[in-house]
Amino acid sequence: MTEKEKAAAGLLYDSNNDPQIVRERTYCKSLCFEHNQLNPLKLSEREEMIRKIVAKAEGPFLIEQPFYCDLGYNIELGRNFYANHNLIILDEARVKFGDNVFIAPNCGFYTAGHPLDAEQRNQGLEFAYPITVEDNVWIGGGVSVLPGVTIGAGSVIGAGSVVNRDIPPGVIAAGNPCRVIREITEEDRNKYPRA
């Protein structure tokens, strides 16, 4: 079993010393570098570069610069995806975003983690579990989403949260660790004045 196959199976694998993984990660980082150097006015070139990086981008979408990821081919973007500055995705496992997902600045999605045992960690071993963000989710600034998490459709994650467990649909959740505060109600629909 290759290190890449071990990662896909949710087993400990060596990400630091496997030539294939190192080569793929370095290539992706070079594409991210190119994307981040593009003039912000060159929207079509930026979109084209993101489509080279990620596995799937249904579009329309916009990822503000800078953007960083590890492999790219494990990332799926739904329609009307928006991410503000400094999005980081460590996509050693699949990271799937649904439609109408909005992400504030300085957010990270981390599928990779390291063993608690120091000997295993010192060997360069890690694990990777997928992350899923369902449709119509809004993620506030500075949020960290950890390995294996699913965020349910229509939920809002408060700024600064560390999401280390699944969040159900249709709720406001926040904190470290992130926890459900309340359901989103009809009253929330009318909270802000409109012209």
CA distance 14 to 182: 40
For residue 195, being part of any structural domain is answered with: no
For residue 22, being part of any structural domain is answered with: yes
The burial class, CB within 10 Å (0-12 / 13-18 / 19+), for 173 is buried
Catalytic residue selected from 105, 114, 129, 142: 114
For residue 60, being part of any structural domain is answered with: yes
For residue 92, being part of any structural domain is answered with: yes
CATH number, residue 86: 2.160.10.10
* CB 82 within 8 Å of CB 60: no
* CB 54 within 8 Å of CB 72: yes
Q: Is 114 a catalytic residue?
A: yes
Residue 151, classed as helix, strand or coil, is: strand
Predicted local distance difference test score (pLDDT) of residue 189: 84
Residue 182, classed as helix, strand or coil, is: strand
CA distance 167 to 18: 34
Residue 78, classed as helix, strand or coil, is: coil
Residue 187, token pair as written in the block? 């009253």
CA distance 12 to 115: 8
For residue 80, being part of any structural domain is answered with: yes
For residue 56, being part of any structural domain is answered with: yes
Q: What is the DSSP letter of 167?
A: B
CA distances from 98 to 102, 156, 192 (A): 10, 14, 25
Predicted local distance difference test score (pLDDT) of residue 82: 98
For residue 148, being part of any structural domain is answered with: yes
* CB 172 within 8 Å of CB 182: yes
For residue 194, being part of any structural domain is answered with: no
Q: Which domain covers residue 141, as residue numbers?
A: 3-189
Residue 91, token pair as written in the block? 């996509």
Number of domains in the chain: 1
Tens digit of each residue's pLDDT, the chain (195 residues) = 999 999 999 999 999 899 999 999 999 999 999 999 999 999 999 999 999 999 999 889 999 999 999 999 999 999 999 999 999 999 999 999 999 999 999 999 999 999 999 999 999 899 999 999 999 999 999 999 999 999 999 999 999 999 999 999 999 999 999 999 999 998 888 888 877
